[in-house]
Structure 1
Amino acid sequence: MTVCVKAIGGRIPISELVFARATISIIITRFYLYKNNINPWGYQRRLLLIRGLLGTVALFCIFKALTILPIATATVIQYIYPTFTVICAYIILKEFILKRIVYSIIIGWIGIVLVTQPEFTSNNNIQETILAIIIAIFGALMTSLAYICVRKLSSKEHPLVIIYYFPLVSIPLSIPFIINDFILPSGTDWFWIIGIGIFTQIGQLCITEGLRQLPASQATSLNYSQVIFASIWGVLIFQEKITSSIYLGGFCVLISTIISMSASKTKQAKI
């Protein structure tokens, strides 16, 4: 998905990409819901709508960051969300934060500083870079909240229902932004737009099913492989340079995630 968004390169408005992605997703999901005779509306509708809203905001942020930042940088920043998940769990669920979690948060943010540092030295538009980094971080926060909702919903809702509410919310939210800013895609743009919808749908299904069958910590660790793939695509397709600072920053974020997961497993063992 990230490759498709990056390839469009800002030629198509973000709201239009979100709308196209949601339209393709809702058609595919509705078909499978009907085929398997599953009630599309679910049982926890309020939480499903909240999950859809959080996911939509996160999607806007991720797409915007990808149009400005290199794929590897935007993806590594996105993967600060496990530390946000811990903080949100402390605030919302009143869960106790272990000392090692504090260390993981510090290490994670050191990683973010290292990853973004090359952008300030190589990009002349500092304000645009800072804005993109802030947007990417906010997107990570929204992702963490959305994952908390998915984890809570997975005990009662079918994965397809959870996925269905994502585009169900995304479509009406993106329409107002499209009305006065619509650009008709041309040429290969159609290919990339369709790719966004299809690949995102596959990813959502895999993530939702993974969160249902695996502990959140294990699902998160497997999902981190996206950083590796993003770096490879960035180099091979877009000729992006991966500096030592980005490698070190990505390693810090990985260590931060591992510490967060180990703390989660320790807590589960005690319970």
Structure 2
Amino acid sequence: MNTIPPGLRYLAGAALSFSIMAAMAKLAGLAIPLFELVFARSVVVAVLAGWDVHRRRMDWRGRERGLLVLRGFFGFAALTCFYYAVLRMPLADATVIHFMNPVFTALAAAVVLGEHIGMVELGLTLLSLLGVVIVARPSFLFGASALDPVAVSVGLLGSVLAGGAYVMVRRLRNEDAGVVVLYFAVVSIILSAGFVVADPVVPTGWTWLVLVGLGVSTHFGQVFLTRGFQLERAARASSVGYLQIVFASIWGWAIFQESPDLWTWVGAAVVVGSTLTLVRLHPTR
């Protein structure tokens, strides 16, 4: 474990947290509208992030406030698109579409940040993507029933927006991770509040617990993700996020009774193997 750079360990933790978030969102979405999901998740995250920033006596206002707000907007839009796809598509399909974002992250990082992408790094990133496809086996690639084209388009848009958000996090490397997460949550609350007021649904029973779990898992995921991207180059950092598919397979079996088959384990091996190879061949700068 000590040979793995800290940034990549943070990113692995983010992958686990976000896989829990996706499962919670799909469960809560059975009773709660889309924007109320985003709002509830953001309220919990804002409370946790605000407490964390206050506890460490950090300046919650940050230094690059304009970029912090812009990152919050991109994050809100990407999250909303992802939730939309999750609620209207099988979880595996929505997740594999979302994980096309490393392509957009790498392209944006090369243009905006001037980061070099070597052929080996690019090849391993594409190999990781192949592993994602093997694990998820999306119906729009492997046949069977057709997916909702609107949901697919929204999912792809979310992937593009997530790529932009990740590059902004990289630019905000000198900002405290808690402050970045706090801005994301507050911006999301402001942007989603109007939709919630227009069509409110009061959570009941188990839904409250799921919403709290959604917010808590998102908070830790955002903290880990922000710190990881601050320590790692954008292209390599995005590749580690593929581990989320492995965790999603576990939750699919445990919560949704989706038993992983041979293809799932083959894909998981490709994802983990290519990610670990990426770590060994390209140590942190």
Q: Same fold judged by TM-score > 0.5?
A: yes
Q: Which position in structure 2 is the counterpart of 1:20?
A: 40
Q: How does 1:25-36 map to 2 (within 5 A)?
A: 25-36=45-56
Matched, 1:115 2:174: no
2:168 partner amino acid: C
Query: Shift in Å at residue 69 of structure 1?
Result: 2.2
1:73 partner amino acid: D
Contact 1:81 1:141 in 2 (8 A): yes
Q: Which position in structure 1 is the counterpart of 2:242?
A: 224
Of 64, 68, 71 in structure 1, the residue corresponding to residue 88 of structure 2 is: 68
SS class of match (1:182): coil
The 1:225–1:103 alpha-carbon spacing in structure 2 relative to 1, beyond 3 Å, is closer
The 1:56–1:255 alpha-carbon spacing in structure 2 relative to 1, beyond 3 Å, is farther
**C-alpha separation in 2, matches of 1:121 and 1:143:** 27
Matched, 1:160 2:198: no
Of residues 78-87 and 244-253 in structure 1, the stretch that sits farther from structure 2 once superposed is 244-253
Q: How does 1:1-271 map to 2 (within 5 A)?
A: 1-93=21-113, 108=129, 115-117=137-139, 121-123=143-145, 126=146, 128=148, 130-154=149-173, 156-240=174-258, 265=282
Query: Shift in Å at residue 137 of structure 1?
Result: 1.8
Contact 2:74 2:165 in 1 (8 A): yes
Query: Shift in Å at residue 46 of structure 1?
Result: 0.8
The 1:49–1:218 alpha-carbon spacing in structure 2 relative to 1, beyond 3 Å, is same
Contact 1:33 1:39 in 2 (8 A): yes
**C-alpha separation in 1, matches of 2:95 and 2:268:** 9
**C-alpha separation in 2, matches of 1:181 and 1:175:** 10
Of residues 30-39 and 161-170 in structure 1, the stretch that sits farther from structure 2 once superposed is 30-39
The 1:118–1:163 alpha-carbon spacing in structure 2 relative to 1, beyond 3 Å, is same
Structure 2: runs of 5 or more not aligned: 1-20
Contact 1:40 1:161 in 2 (8 A): yes
Q: RMSD of the TM alignment (CA)?
A: 3.3
Q: TM-score if structure 1 supplies the norm length?
A: 0.80
Of residues 228-237 and 212-221 in structure 1, the stretch that sits farther from structure 2 once superposed is 212-221
Q: TM-score if structure 2 supplies the norm length?
A: 0.77
**C-alpha separation in 1, matches of 2:110 and 2:220:** 31
**C-alpha separation in 2, matches of 1:136 and 1:245:** 24
Contact 2:93 2:137 in 1 (8 A): yes
Contact 2:109 2:234 in 1 (8 A): no
Contact 1:3 1:233 in 2 (8 A): yes
2:244 partner amino acid: Q
**C-alpha separation in 2, matches of 1:251 and 1:133:** 26
**C-alpha separation in 2, matches of 1:17 and 1:235:** 24
The total of aligned residue pairs comes to 263
Of residues 239-248 and 206-215 in structure 1, the stretch that sits farther from structure 2 once superposed is 239-248
**C-alpha separation in 2, matches of 1:6 and 1:198:** 15
Query: Shift in Å at residue 186 of structure 1?
Result: 1.4
Structure 1: runs of 5 or more not aligned: none
* % identical aligned pairs: 32
SS class of match (2:138): helix
Query: Shift in Å at residue 250 of structure 1?
Result: 7.5
The 1:213–1:138 alpha-carbon spacing in structure 2 relative to 1, beyond 3 Å, is same
**C-alpha separation in 1, matches of 2:51 and 2:264:** 42
**C-alpha separation in 1, matches of 2:215 and 2:228:** 20
Query: Shift in Å at residue 81 of structure 1?
Result: 1.4
